[in-house]
A and B are shown apart, each in its own frame.
Chain A
Amino acid sequence: MNVIHLIMTAVMVTLFASTAHASGTPEVDSGTTAWMLTSTALVLLMIPGLAMFYGGLVRTKNVLGTMMHSFSAMAIIGVIWTICGYSMAFGDTIGGVVGWDADKVLLSGIDQTIMEGGIPEYVFAMFQGKFAIITPAIIAGAFAERVKFRGYCVFIALWSLIVYNPLAHIVWGGGFLTGDAIDFAGGTVIHVSAGVAGLVAALYLGARRGYPRVAMHPNSLVMTMIGAGLLWVGWFGFNAGSSVESGLKTGQALAMTQIAAAAGALAWICIEGVLHKKATSLGLVSGILAGLVAITPAAGDVLPVGAISLGILGSLFSYAAITIKNRFGYDDTLDVFGIHGVAGIVGAIVLTFFLRDEPTGGLVQQLVHQVSGVGVAIAASAIGTLLLVWLVDKTVGFKLDERRELAGLDHSLHGEHGYGMLNPN
């Protein structure tokens, strides 16, 4: 009897304790949770979208190798983010530079957690995880068609740990720039850092063999356009999801995303129309991307006139950057710096002049915050990337040897061909 009584009491105490605990945490907000689940799925859709966008732009012999760069980021970062990435980006801050929280390692302590905004922490962790996946996948475009698969895998794993996670912590997770620099959905953390990393890696690894003498035609601009369409759709999750709510801010971010993408696309084909008398499909989709990248840091904080301006400026500066690249002759294969880096920098800095609300510290103070945010992203990414590219190249090897590069990634690295129908069997 006594024993049973004791057990009953123990159970009651536990139950009471757990209900008391539960009443201290926020309730699930089903509206916000539903939108965040949708956004998480939309951002994941961007990665196959990116695979198609990049895959269509390379030569036939490299289509699978290039798409594998995006898809393998889903595999590699998907695991690393669960193990320690989330903890490093959103754990308790260590000196404002990187986070760490034993509860978040392997997501072990968040099984039952409902966050302040009323969403399960799992949803937030997975939403943020998609950003961690897409960032290294974007970099891959800069050294497409000329790297070893093994070297690439090691590189993105290390880059995620040493560059992305600390940067995400600094700007979003409680680090020293959190709250100062406006980076609504990752203009600096994602696009500027990926763009600069791409530039550094492309410069270190050197050009593809034959570049720029040999014509290197896209194997399927049709696939590139489909990929750009998926990216545009996915970007609504990327930007509007970054409000981490389902309300006014979400609607504002979604509208600005749509407006800037359209303005960027229109600006690009206008530039081409004036300069070349022909609007190209690749130009139009490049404009979509430049517009989307430029609005990313600003989506929640500007008005439509700002969205149109940022879209146009993103395209203008990206177009100019790519023209200059062709003069310099370095081989950023798919213009990762030209589009993500340049439009990202333009968006992050110019947004200051289009803010909905006057910034608390005044315009100049905000401009300083924005420039320092961009500066930190450029510095961290450039230094981290240079170190990692060098390290990977000296250990497992990064740059592909001549024979396999000329034979194409698909057959020489993966033992496959992208398009069977080009052969009789």
Chain B
Amino acid sequence: MKLITAIIRPEKLDEVRQALINAEITRITVTRCAGRGQAEHVDIYRGLEVAPALAPKIRLDIACNDDFKQITVDAILGAARSEDGEIGDGKIFVTHLEECIRIRTGEEGGSAI
């Protein structure tokens, strides 16, 4: 099992969601978060350009069985990449997932995902 964590642009959320749904990946956790990568996020405050240290981002957490890892990653890559190749599209982290337990039934492993 894998845990796929993706950090994406907030405005790409709808497209990524749709791509995942099209790939039949529907179980997903979405969090509003902030972070700092290569990109700068500039706001204007009374004529002053202000670059906050942290840019708003969306974090997706998807747990999946090994077979679905590539499908999920491809779906996110396809939808989250911006057309003009600007920096700030985000990252995907894939980690090994040791255990998965469904709280309602207590079942464990791949079938609980």
Q: Which residue on B lies nearest to A424, using beta carbons?
A: B34
Q: Look across to chain A and name the residue whose beta carbon is closest to the beta carbon of B41.
A: A411
Asked if A403 meets B43 with Cβ closer than 8 Å, knowing A210-B14, A422-B32, A425-B53, the reply is no
Known: A415-B44, A416-B43, A417-B43. A424 touches B54 (CB 8 A): yes
CA distance A210 to B43 in the complex (A): 26
**B42 within 8 Å of A (CB atoms):** yes
B interface majority secondary structure: mixed
As a 0/1 sequence over residues 61 to 77 of chain B, the CB contacts with chain A under 8 angstroms (1 = contact) are 00000000000000000
**Structural contact, B54 and A408, CB atoms closer than 8 A:** no
Give the docked Cα–Cα distance between A411 and B88 (Å): 15
Which residues of chain B are near A213, meaning CB under 8 Å? Answer: 18
A406-425 interface with B by 8 A CB criterion: 406-408, 411, 414-417, 422-425
Contact across chains for A423 and B43 when beta carbons are under 8 A apart? no
Q: A416-B43, A416-B44 known; A423 and B54 CB under 8 Å?
A: yes
Q: Is the CB of B34 within 8 A of A423?
A: yes
Contacts of A403 in B (CB 8 A): 11, 82-83
Partner of B52, one of A210, A406, A414, A425: A425
**Shortest Cβ distance from residue B50 to the other chain A in the assembled complex, whole angstroms:** 9
Contacts of B54 in A (CB 8 A): 423-425
Q: Which of B18, B43, B82 contacts A415 (CB 8 A)?
A: B43
Which residues from chain A contact B110 at a C-beta distance below 8 Å? none
Chain A residues within 8 Å of B34, by CB: 423-425
Interface size class of B (residues with CB under 8 A): 20 to 34
Query: What is the bound-complex CA distance between A416 and B42, given in angstroms?
Result: 9
Chain A CB within 10 Å — which of B17, B34, B56, B83 has the most?
B56
> In the complex, which residues of chain B have a beta carbon less than 8 angstroms from the beta carbon of A414?
44
**Does B81 belong to the interface (CB within 8 Å)?**
no
Interface pair B43/A406, CB less than 8 Å apart: no
Interface size, chain A (Cβ < 8 Å): 18
- CA of A16 to CA of B18 in the docked complex: distance in angstroms? 81
A411 surroundings in chain B (CB, below 8 A): 43
For A415, list chain B residues within 8 Å (CB).
42-44, 49
Q: How far is the CB of A120 from chain B (nearest CB, A)?
A: 37
Write the chain A residue with the least CB distance to B33: A424
Is A148 in the interface zone, CB < 8 Å from B?
Answer: no
A275 interface residue (CB < 8 Å to B): no
Residues of A within 8 A of B42 (CB): 415
A17 an interface residue at 8 Å Cβ cutoff? no
CA distance A422 to B83 in the complex (A): 27
Q: Does A1 contact B (CB under 8 A)?
A: no
Instruction: Give the distance to chain B from A209, nearest Cβ to Cβ, in Å.
Output: 8
Using CB atoms, name the residue of chain B closest to A422. Answer: B32
Is B2 an interface position by the 8 A CB rule? no
Instruction: Tell me if A214 is interfacial: C-beta within 8 Å of chain B.
Output: yes
Is residue A61 within 8 Å, beta carbon to beta carbon, of the partner chain? yes
Q: Measured between alpha carbons, how far is A412 from B44 in the docked complex, in Å?
A: 11
CB–CB B44/A422 < 8 A:
no
Contact check, B14 vs A214: say whether CB atoms are below 8 A apart.
yes
Cβ contacts under 8 Å, B18 to chain A = 213-214
Query: What residue in chain A is nearest B9 (Cβ atoms)?
Result: A407
List residues 6-20 of chain B with CB under 8 A from any CB of chain A. Answer: 9-12, 14-15, 17-18
CB distance from A217 to the nearest CB of B (A): 12
Shortest beta-carbon distance from A39 to chain B in Å: 34
* A-B pairs, 8 with minimum CB distance: A415-B44, A406-B11, A407-B11, A423-B34, A424-B34, A214-B14, A425-B54, A210-B14
Binding site for B on A (CB under 8 A): 61, 209-210, 213-214, 403, 406-408, 411, 414-417, 422-425
Question: Can you sample 10 A-B contacts with CB below 8 Å?
Answer: A61-B11, A406-B11, A406-B12, A406-B14, A407-B11, A408-B10, A408-B11, A416-B44, A417-B56, A425-B34
Other than the given A417-B43, A424-B54, 10 more pairs (CB < 8 A) read: A61-B10, A61-B11, A214-B17, A403-B11, A406-B15, A408-B10, A408-B11, A414-B44, A415-B49, A425-B34
